[in-house]
């Protein structure tokens, strides 16, 4: 179908979209269960490794007196609970939609990511205070147990990275879990370096430096993850999409006079929704309305950095906006 749009993009190519609406919107969601099962398996395997490291580091911190090991154990505790939350979120996201939850439980993954970020920020505060205290008051630290447990942790974290690497782009939850184990590996490396410095020079304050380094690794990730989750929950326009550009494309469709109440937001990873009121020429036939609707659906699904495949367009006469109860300004 040729698109009658005076825009910089080439709309002359043939499109092969099924616009049948018999099953809701003609969208296929059959892949979600496969992704959920794959994510669940990866998370369970990563949880087993992380829980093992947590126990080892707690024992090692108690034997050696190492704050760096204790900090990394705290990190592991957050990661373990975060992986449990992620598993719950994966399970909830597979629950079917109903009349109460019309989007299903897709955003459970976003809530889980926000909770993980909050837990990380709390742990960072506790470890930072203890790290500064240990820098001032030199602690008693045994470097040998630090070195052994740090090496075990590094190997185990490398295994977790391999497990989660293949699924890190499937959801915000999986991406968060992958970044956590990468930072865990860096934390284990910091513990090893602090232990080596302690053995070589006797300067055990390297342990405190390592604990503060682990905090420095956690803080940016925690705030970035929290920011992303909050933006999704606040229904902000995705960063990759310019709302004015979308509006320009919509208004460029032949027969469209105006576009207002335009909203684009992320429902969950990979699911972006758009709603808009589109004013069209008066007196258009039903066939022309269908042509405009199909053109808008094709354009929003294909011509932006993020495919917007769940769209709701209200086609209306230009003077209809005066009858609307709620006005959202320029949007």
- Give pLDDT tens digits for 199-239: 998 888 898 898 898 888 888 878 988 898 899 899 999 98
Q: Which residues in the chain are classed under CATH 3.30.70.1350?
A: 243-317
- Between helix 206-233 and helix 172-201 the angle, nearest 10°, is 170
Whole-number Å distance between alpha carbons of 14 and 1: 6
Place 98 in a pLDDT band, splitting at 50, 70 and 90.
confident
What top-level class would CATH report for the domain 243-317?
alpha beta
pTM score: 0.68
pLDDT at 42: 78
Q: Is pLDDT of 2 > 60?
A: no
pLDDT at 325: 57
Pick the closest to residue 257 from 178, 213, 207, 316 (CA basis).
316
Q: Which residues in the chain are classed under CATH 1.20.1510?
A: 46-96+103-234
Tell me the mean pLDDT in the region 163-185: 73
Tell me the mean pLDDT in the region 113-142: 84
CA neighbours closer than 13 Å in the CB half-sphere of residue 266 = 23
Average pLDDT, the chain: 79
pLDDT at 259: 92
List, for residues 13-67, the tens digit of each pLDDT value: 333 333 333 333 333 334 444 455 666 777 788 788 888 888 988 998 899 888 8
CATH architecture type of domain 46-96+103-234: Up-down Bundle (1.20)
Q: Is 259 exposed, middle or buried (0-12, 13-18, 19+ CB in 10 A)?
A: buried
């Amino acid at each position: 179908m040729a698109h009658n749009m005076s825009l910089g993009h080439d709309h002359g190519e043939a499109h092969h979209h099924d616009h049948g609406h018999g099953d809701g919107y003609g969208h296929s969601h059959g892949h979600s269960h496969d992704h959920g099962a794959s994510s669940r398996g990866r998370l369970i395997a990563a949880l087993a490794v992380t829980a093992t490291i947590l126990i080892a580091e707690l024992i090692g911190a108690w034997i050696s007196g190492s704050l760096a090991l204790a900090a990394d154990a705290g990190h592991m505790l957050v990661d373990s609970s975060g992986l449990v939350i992620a598993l719950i979120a994966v399970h909830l996201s597979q629950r079917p939609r109903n009349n109460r939850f019309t989007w299903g439980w897709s955003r459970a993954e976003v809530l889980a990511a926000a909770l993980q970020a909050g837990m990380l920020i709390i742990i960072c505060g506790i470890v930072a205070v203890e790290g500064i205290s240990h820098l001032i008051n030199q602690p008693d630290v045994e470097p040998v147990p630090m070195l052994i447990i740090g090496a075990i942790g590094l190997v185990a974290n490398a295994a977790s990275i391999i497990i989660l690497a293949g699924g890190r782009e499937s959801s915000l939850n999986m991406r968060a879990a992958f970044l956590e184990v990468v930072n865990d590996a860096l934390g284990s490396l910091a513990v090893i370096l602090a232990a080596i410095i302690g053995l070589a020079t006797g300067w055990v304050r390297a342990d405190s430096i390592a604990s503060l380094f682990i905090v420095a690794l956690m803080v940016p990730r925690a705030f970035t993850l929290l920011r992303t989750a909050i933006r999704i929950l606040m229904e902000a326009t995705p960063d990759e999409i310019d709302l004015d550009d979308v509006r320009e494309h919509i208004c460029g469709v032949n027969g469209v006079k105006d576009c207002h109440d335009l909203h684009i937001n992320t429902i969950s990873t990979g699911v972006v929704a758009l709603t808009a009121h589109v004013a069209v020429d008066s007196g258009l036939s039903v066939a022309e309305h269908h042509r405009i609707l199909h053109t808008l659906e094709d354009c929003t699904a294909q011509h932006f950095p993020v495919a917007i495949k769940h769209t709701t367009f209200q086609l209306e006469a230009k003077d209809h906006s005066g009858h609307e109860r709620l006005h959202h300004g320029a949007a």
